[in-house]
Chain A
């Protein structure tokens, strides 16, 4: 896979992760059950981590 396609694919996933983070954040805010809220928060954190990793990857591809 060439670099440009790789970057484009990561950007597609980045948008999906951003959307997922927004949805999970909203679910966390609106759920009342503490245990569910905690699990959702963990997933939201995981999404944040995905986003950060994608950003790092994009920076790497840009500077490469």
Chain B
């Protein structure tokens, strides 16, 4: 049997042959008769890079100031209600982190008058190494409910099981490795009180110093939550629920629930909620820390699952988004950039390589076809990453990563983006061939 990692290498070879070698041969043959096709294709792909970089600049500029809470006349000024925390865990993989996560909520969270409830939703019937500790914890804290979702095979099933038990009016969802800040509940509730249905908080990486991979992901998360989600919320008044550190009105999440067939159940629930007319806001002042993958293979499998899940959603929701009566034209634009555009961009941006290689082959020498437009596009695109890193640094909250780590991200961003684009393509290949595997991210303290 082929090992999982070897299989992924084979998939990479397969994808490269479709996206690089085959197009290279086609471009080369076509250029002999119709050189203008090669020429136009080159400008087409460069234009794709320009559009993508423009989106990045747009988000970076608009995230320079954060979306501050501004009380609306719709605010009811109700006290924070009883809140249910649902912590979803894959045991035994997440055994080493789960106790800290639960203790952090139970001991540190600022409790509303109406109290809290913490549900640990897990699907492994045997958790010997920590069973006793968890039972002791549940004995000490009556608010802690150990909910074993018998027969569950996925995170979505765990979550749905916990939703049936939850009794709070606000439901906060967390993965097993999240340490949420103590002031999160009142910060989240003020948005729900004035009419939003979901609040997504900011997720920070706390093991950035563990490896070069986690260092990269740490800054990436600062950009993702400090810029991208925040800017979307500010510019378009729409954003996504990212699976963790999300606060829902209980009535809404109990209606939406989680689709057990989706690899990114959070994005699927986001889109079903938006299409049903519910509203999501991002507040980067609600902070929770989590653990990033520390190895390349861990990162590969995590991102492939995300990419495949996004692709499933792109396929399913692009048309409903365009037809939705609840989304305005700007929100439809934003969601199109996240759904169809990202698939289109990831597939076609790779063509820059076969086009340039075909040009070299045709000319029989290695020369770069440059003019003032291409120079502009090159500089504009290359600087979008470092600019994003600068804004991410400006927007980051304590404890800040060292400046050197932002520099490291700036230097690596082009290659990292290409790496992620490649993962997207492999994920698309897997989805089209109905290969769905859930490789659980290992979480270690």
Contact = CB atoms under 8 A, between A and B. Distances in A.
A12 B148 contact: no
B147 A19 contact: yes
A49 B117 CA distance: 24
B150 A9 contact: no
A11 B115 contact: no
B150 A12 contact: no
Contact of A4 (B115, B147, B151): B115
A15 B142 contact: no
A15 to B, nearest CB: 5
B145 interface: yes
Given A11-B167, A14-B165, A19 B148 contact: yes
B124 interface: no
Contacts of B150: 19, 22-23, 26
B165 A8 contact: no
Contacts, number: 35
B145 A26 contact: no
A52 interface: no
B138 interface: yes
Interface residues of B, number: 15
Contacts of B138: 12
Given A14-B165, A15-B165, A26 B142 contact: no
Interface in A12-38: 12, 14-16, 18-19, 22-23, 26
A18 B147 CA distance: 9
Interface string B142-156: 111111101100000
Nearest to A1: B142
Interface string B8-20: 0000000000000
Nearest to A25: B150
A5 interface: yes
Interface string B49-77: 00000000000000000000000000000
Interface in B322-368: none
Given A14-B165, A15-B165, A8 B147 contact: no
Contact of B144 (A12, A18, A19, A22): A12
Interface of A: 4-5, 8-9, 11-12, 14-16, 18-19, 22-23, 26, 58
11 contacts: A8-B117, A11-B167, A12-B138, A12-B144, A12-B145, A14-B165, A15-B145, A16-B146, A18-B147, A19-B150, A26-B150
Minimum-distance CB pairs A-B, first 8: A8-B142, A22-B150, A19-B148, A15-B147, A15-B145, A9-B142, A5-B142, A8-B143
Given A4-B115, A8-B142, A19-B147, 10 more contacts: A8-B117, A11-B117, A11-B145, A11-B167, A12-B142, A15-B147, A15-B148, A19-B148, A23-B150, A58-B167
